[in-house]
Structure 1
Amino acid sequence: MGNIGILGSGRVATVLANKLAGAGHAVTIGARDPAQAAVKWSGARVELRDHAETARLASIVINATPGDTSVERLGALRDALKGKILVDVSNATLRGRDGLPGSLLYPNGSVAERLQAALPETAVVKTLNTMLFTVMADPTSLRAAPTAFLSGNDEGAKAVVGRLLGDLGWPSDWIEDLGDIETARGPEAVALLVPSVLRRRGLAPFAIALAR
């Protein structure tokens, strides 16, 4: 699939980079300060560059930046992201007083839709935002089979992302294609469940599953 760029250098980026590099992909981490990020980086062997260079070099870009600032950050990369697939795993929420998600930033839409509008020449695909970050690259760690939802306007891009999910450990029958990018509103609304789950169970791995 070529080089995979991950925008962000936190926990989500580390989990995804480790699994994708282990699957044989070349991974570049995009950080606001690559030198500082390199000192703190403890994940797989990857390249570290700034956001613009990461987006320019990658064929597939994963948005692992905070969802409440993603539209502004990635909108500035419109030229670098032209013709690319952008995998959005973020949730855009307003923080409550305890620091956990308090409400949706885009209650009548989704960050994925905002990204697609800001990046009309980029194929945005929403996925992996309905679980604790550890499950993104280790879905079989749960007692029950979780679901990875897909939303996006480009069928070819969703097929590519489906194969990428396979490299992250997701069996094809655990992946549910919901339809176009507007369907990302449902999975993003799941963020409203997260505070209650975390308060009761802490950072124990969890995910949403579609029972059939």
Structure 2
Amino acid sequence: MKITILGRGRVGGGLATALTRAGHDVTAPDRSAVADAARSAQIVINATPGAGSLDRLTALRDALRGTILVDVSNATVDGPDGLPAALLYPGSSLAEQLQQALPETRVVKTLNTMLYSVMTAPTVLTQAPTVFLSGDAPPAKQIVAGILADLGWHREWITDLGGIETARATEAAILFVPPVIRSSGFAPFAISIAR
């Protein structure tokens, strides 16, 4: 698939490398070429810092029309140590805000409940992790599930939570990150649903 990744940091760079290795046609444009790259993509992945994502992506409304927008960001207010301390959209979520602002784009929330390195290497963990899907368009979620499989996620590890409003739950999980890092260090981890 033709995939454009917005964000060239650790998250975006890791996803670009892994998806290219899986055979996808991946573009990670600089800011001057974002609109053209988004317009020509089947899937756009938002790996930009969550606090600025809504403004950044709303400005791309026309370019994103008809695409699937995979949102992997968390919109938080950082504490003095630079780690997430509160949610930017309490009572809502970045994914819901994006879907409301981009009604002609199919927003799917995923990959936001783990340390960035696990996104593209889930099998490094000692137990099976869970990755969640939230979105209002089931066909878009099926396509994104296929992308997750290309990243190494087993089908039984993927849980579809339902509509875009369920992203509130997964985005709130970011508040686990600071205490986990403080207690265990900066080691790979993810949420896992045990049944």
TM-score range, shorter chain: over 0.9
Displacement of 1:201: 2.1
In the other structure, the counterpart of 1:46 is none
Counterpart residue number, 2:15: 16
One of 26, 50, 71 as aligned partner of 2:54: 71
* Partner secondary structure for residue 169 of structure 1: coil
CA distance in 2, matches of 1:191, 1:144: 20
Task: Give the residue type in structure 2 aligned to 1:80.
Answer: A
- 1:1-212 to structure 2, matched below 5 A, reads 1=1, 3-32=2-31, 50-212=33-195
Report the CA distance between 1:32 and its aligned residue.
Answer: 2.3
Unaligned runs of 5+ in 2: none
1:136, CA displacement in angstroms?
0.3
- Give the match's secondary structure for 1:30: coil
1-structure distance, mates of 2:29, 2:114: 23
Per the TM alignment, residue 53 of structure 1 is displaced from its structure 2 partner at its CA by: 1.8
**Mean Cα displacement is larger for which, 137-146 or 51-60?**
51-60
CA distance in 1, matches of 2:12, 2:185: 21
SS in 2 for 1:176: strand
**Distance in 1, Cα, partners of 2:186 & 2:162:** 30
- Letter of the 2:72 partner, please give it: V
TM-score (norm 2): 0.98
Displaced runs of 4 or more, over 3 A? none
**Distance in 2 (alpha carbons) for counterparts of 1:79 and 1:191:** 30
Deviations 1:99-154, CA, capped at 9 Å, x for gaps: 10010001110000000001000000000000000000000000010001000000
- Deviation for aligned residue 1:51: 1.7
Instruction: Quote the Cα distance in structure 2 between the aligned partners of 1:29 and 1:165.
Output: 18
Question: Residues of 1 paired with 2:30 and 2:80: CA distance?
Answer: 28
Q: Is the 8 A contact 1:67 1:93 kept in 2?
A: yes
Q: How far 1:31 sits from its partner (Å)?
A: 2.6
Q: How many aligned residue pairs are there?
A: 195
- Deviations 1:74-114, CA, capped at 9 Å, x for gaps: 00000000000000000000010111001000111000000
User: Given residue 7 of structure 1, which amino acid in structure 2 is its aligned partner?
Assistant: L
* One-letter amino acid of the structure 2 residue matched with residue 60 of structure 1: I
Local SS of the residue matching 2:31: coil
Q: Where do 5+ consecutive residues of structure 1 fail to align? A: 34-49
- What's the Cα RMSD here? 0.8
Please say if residues 7 and 54 of structure 1, whose CA atoms lie closer than 8 Å, have aligned partners that are also in contact: no
Cα distance in structure 2, aligned partners of 1:31 and 1:199: 34
**Counterpart-to-counterpart distance in 2, 1:129 and 1:105:** 15
